[in-house]
Amino acid sequence: MPIPNDTIVAVATAPGRGGVGIVRLSGPRAAAIAAQLAAPLPPPRTAALRHIRAADGSVLDSGLLLHFPAPHSFTGEDVVELQAHGSPVALQLIVQAACAAGARLARPGEFSERAFLNQRIDLAQAEAIADLIDAATAEAARAAQRSLEGEFSRRVEAIAAQLVEIRMYVEGALDFSDEDVDWLADGALGTRLEAARAALDELLARAAQGRRLRDGYTVALTGRPNVGKSTLLNRLAGADIAIVTEIAGTTRDVLRENLDLRGLPVTLVDTAGLRESDDPVEREGIRRARLALEQAELALFIVDARSGLSAEDRRLLEALPPSLPRLIVHNKCDLVPTLGTRAESADELHLSAATGEGIESLIDAIHRHAGLHAGGEGAFSARTRHVEALRRAAAHLRQAAQRLSERSMPELAAEDLRLAHEALGEITGRFTSEDLLGRIFASFCIGK
């Protein structure tokens, strides 16, 4: 991508009214344009109170002016921030005045894109900014912060550096293959390959957790009518959102609730009791429930602890999409005092939605199914494209190790290593097509 040479402007604060609203300018003419709007410019990185004026000299607002000269700014270009009052109308007038003075409206994500093009941040860090802003839970925000600080990128770069060494070694061996020395038989190569693979696997596990924290998890609540699905939803949500009654078939529509289950953003879908019905409204509810089940990543199948898994329950279980993982939850265990809240197995547990007993174990089980592990080092925020690139790198590395251990076709092993290296480069943006870059930044919001 060519490095741009025009000056962009946008409101950097969220749309709507607020105490303060920030207009941001970036580009070679940022200082000149700001001086036209709110002269004189204060010294670098020093706030000064100024009137902000339109082209005709009329005062639009007053606010703080800050100048960050290139290259010590977020974008690496000359940046000026005007901190005015948070009035959407006044802020738009300021943006218009900046455009009249020669700036252009920024596209979504264009400030971050410039920061990337000027190598202030890499691609994974730019994405982490967007992920931090969009984080649904505190844990997701912390994971994004780690990536933004460059922790994720540093690990990726470290593995890439290991691959460079291995590639030099293997390619060197190919160049000298006529000589008598058998370079590939050297144990040092195996050790290095193993170290790179272990580092990649660990990174992949942490990135997969981060992707989960970013993208969340869709869990469907299902089971016969009246087993306590709505009560459990309310318990997990900590608020009365579903209607709980004693009449079977109350939950006719699909209720969706976004929950923060100990840092994991969960969309919990409460489906209508799956049963045959002649009532057209209930039938429609059941159709929607099936649709929701197909989109879910885990089913909580609720049964009444008093009866355990009945024949009817087994029939319903079999009707679930075959590939959908499931947890069988024996609810109402408060009504069966002899039962307690013991876990039957990893995928079967007892609890009481009414009293809350056993709920923590349910949340543990949901975390486990979502691939989140308690303890250990924290996750990095990562996206599906990162996880896929890491998986590809791991597959190429495995392939290369296999070929080298068999000493068959070392040329192909060298190619595998090159592909593994390239897959890692896609994460930080070293080997990323212009088209993909465009798509990534376009998904950001304006002013970011």
| Binding-site ranges for ligand GDP (CB under 6 A) | 225-231, 244-246, 250-251, 273, 331-332, 334-335, 352-354
At closest approach, how far in Å is the CB of 251 from ligand GDP? Answer: 5
Please say which residue, 353 or 440, places its beta carbon nearer to ligand GDP.
353
CB of 242 to ligand GDP, least distance (A): 7
Beta-carbon contacts of 11 under 8 Å, excluding residues fewer than 6 positions away, are: 21, 22, 23, 24, 88, 91, 92, 95, 446, 447
CA 200 – CA 206 distance, rounded (Å):
10
190, exposed or middle or buried, with CB in 10 Å at 0-12, 13-18, 19+? middle
Using the minimum distance from each CB to ligand GDP, give the nearer residue, 109 or 228.
Answer: 228
- Residue of closest CB approach to ligand GDP: 228
Q: Which is nearer to ligand GDP, 332 or 383 (CB)?
A: 332
- In the complex with ligand GDP, the residue whose CB is nearer, 225 or 371, is 225
Smallest distance from ligand GDP to CB 327, Å: 15
Shortest reach from residue 224's CB to ligand GDP, in Å: 7
**At its nearest, how many Å lie between ligand GDP and the CB of residue 221?**
8
β-partners of residue 329 are 302, 349
Torsion 338-343-344-350 (CA) sign: positive
- d(Cα 386, Cα 152) in Å, to the nearest integer? 10
Query: Which C-beta is closer to ligand GDP: that of 359 or that of 419?
Result: 359
Which sign does the torsion angle of CA 158, 159, 162, 164 carry? negative
Least Å distance, CB 269 to ligand GDP, is 12
Strands in 255-261's sheet, in edge-to-edge order, are 255-261, 264-270, 217-223, 298-304, 326-331, 348-350, 343-345
| Nearer of residues 105 and 335 to ligand GDP, judged by Cβ | 335
Helices marked H in 105-255 — which ranges?
110-117, 123-134, 138-148, 151-175, 187-215, 229-237
For residue 321, the minimal CB distance to ligand GDP (Å) is: 20
Closer residue to ligand GDP, CB minimum distance, 79 or 236:
236
**To which residue do tokens 């939950």 refer?**
251
CA distance 313 to 180: 70
